[in-house]
Amino acid sequence: MRKEYLMTPGPTPVPSEVLLAQAKPMIHHRAPIYTEIILEVLDDLKYVFQTKNDIIMFASSGTGGMESAVVNLFSPGDKVLVASTGNFGERWVKISGAYGLDVVKLDYEWGEKANPQDIADALAKDQDIKGVLTTHSETSTGVTNDIKTIGKIVAGYKAVLVVDAISGLGACELKTDEWKCDVVISGSQKALMTPPGLAFTSVSDKAWAVVEKSTLPKFYFDYKTSRDALHKDQPQSPFTPAVSTIVGLGEALKLIKKETLEKVLERHAVLAKACRAGVHALGLELFGASDEMANSVTAIKAPEGIDGQAVVKTLRVKYGITIAGGQGRIKGKIFRIGHCGYYDKFDIVSVMAGLEMALKDLGYPVEMGAAVGAAAEVLYEGISVLS
């Protein structure tokens, strides 16, 4: 018998309540029952986004949500500032480039955080910047950016702040309205504990005013089409929505509300802290500026002489634990343990035990139980938020 463990920063395990809800008989998306469901789901998403803004949903992966922000906010040749801290910051550069935007890039070493002061300086120097595009939890490096401070800065300018919170929302604190985030994008398959296939974007009043002026081509991703359909007498999705995934998401959001967002975030903080403690106990180093904000994913430097991909492969093939490797320029140099979403204390204990075994297989000196013990200490301390 072999049990599989999914510990990647997306897709993530899906609770049985969500799976069962998705297996219900199909309903029609123009029927009143769908309206009831979508309105409740959008309301519950607002709770997780901590926003009163409209939320627009698409049947797409998170990248579709990012692309939707670019095509709805900007016009050809518009200048945007991308604060790029890793692979997903680069995605903003690529999407903006594909649509002919003039991209000014703040390029950070992978593993570093974006420095809000650099954004302040860039905006002060160039009043033509129409948008600041950045990443909340940079999944490729395990670093979480200081969106709160960035939001305060951007709010003083005409530029809109666009935040990719695809792996961060629901795992690391993000107060959309209070932090003045104009467009926040997330997806179903990470902390929201639902299969892949849905992208959500919250759109502020400041952003809607900008949407009015945008001339980039769009059709399926047009925010106004989605908003108008939602504001009809019988609110709807303009096109056939991913009905079963939305029904599943509804259950996931109920679970989050039952636990409360506050507790959900605290749980993620304890799990991430336990993971970091376990890693340190093995004498390993975290990659980059991971700190108490980095609660979605833990990125770990592969030890000297051991390929990060070999750690990933050994864990998967021999021990049935799927974690993630490094991406792009840091492939082989790191490995990443995801803990955003449906995870609890014993998931961390399991992955630590597996990591000890896999590293030992690869010739790294391991004192068996060191990582498990260190993680368990933290989990025990935080038990009140975990149970």
CA dist 216 and 75 (Å) reads: 5
Binding segment (CB under 6 A) for ligand PLP, from list 50-58, 59-67, 70-78, 307-315: 59-67
With binding defined as CB under 6 A, does residue 111 bind ligand PLP? no
- The reply on whether position 187 binds ligand PLP by CB under 6 A is yes
Structure tokens belonging to residue 377:
């200490």
Buried b (16+ CB within 10 A) or exposed e, 259-292: eeeeebbbbbbbbbbbbbbbbebbebebbbbbee
Stretch that binds ligand PLP, among 56-64, 217-225, 286-294, 299-307 (CB under 6 A): 56-64
Q: Indicate the residue among 135 and 204 with the shorter CB distance to ligand PLP.
A: 135
* Least distance CB 86 / ligand PLP (angstroms): 8
Q: Which of 72, 135, 145, 245 binds ligand PLP (CB under 6 A)?
A: 135
Cβ neighbours around 103 below 10 Å, total? 18
- Told to check if 10 binds ligand PLP by CB under 6 A, we report yes
Could you write out the DSSP letters of every residue in 130-149?
EEEEEESEETTTTEE--HHH
**By CB under 6 A, is residue 166 in contact with ligand PLP?**
yes
Q: Does 164 bind ligand PLP (CB under 6 A)?
A: yes
Take residue 54 and report the two structure tokens written for it: 């409209």
User: Which residues in 292-311 contact ligand PLP (CB under 6 A)?
Assistant: none
Q: Is there binding between residue 88 and ligand PLP (CB under 6 A)?
A: yes
| Host H or E run for residue 186 | strand 183-187
Q: Which of 85, 139, 186, 314 binds ligand PLP (CB under 6 A)?
A: 139
Taking residues 226 to 265 in sequence order and writing x for each that binds ligand PLP by CB under 6 A, - otherwise, the string is ----------------------------------------
Surface-to-core class of residue 317, CB atoms within 10 Å of its CB (0-12 exposed, 13-18 middle, 19+ buried): exposed
Can you give the length of the chain in residues?
Answer: 387
Of 135 and 176, which has the nearer Cβ to ligand PLP? 135
Q: Is the dihedral of CA 197, 141, 284, 311 positive or negative?
A: positive
CB-CB contact of 154 with 132 (8 Å): yes
Binding segment (CB under 6 A) for ligand PLP, from list 32-40, 58-66, 75-83, 350-358: 58-66
CB burial of residue 136 (10 Å; 0-12, 13-18, 19+):
buried
* Options 41-49, 75-83, 162-170, 254-262: segment touching ligand PLP (CB under 6 A): 162-170
CB of 296 to ligand PLP, least distance (A): 8
Q: How far is CA 311 from the centre of its chain?
A: 24
In the complex, the smallest distance separating the C-beta of residue 199 from ligand PLP, rounded to whole angstroms, is 7
Q: Report the relative pairing of strands 198-203 and 183-187 from DSSP bridges.
A: antiparallel
> Residue numbers of the site for ligand PLP (CB under 6 A)?
10, 61-63, 88, 91, 135, 137, 139, 164, 166-167, 187
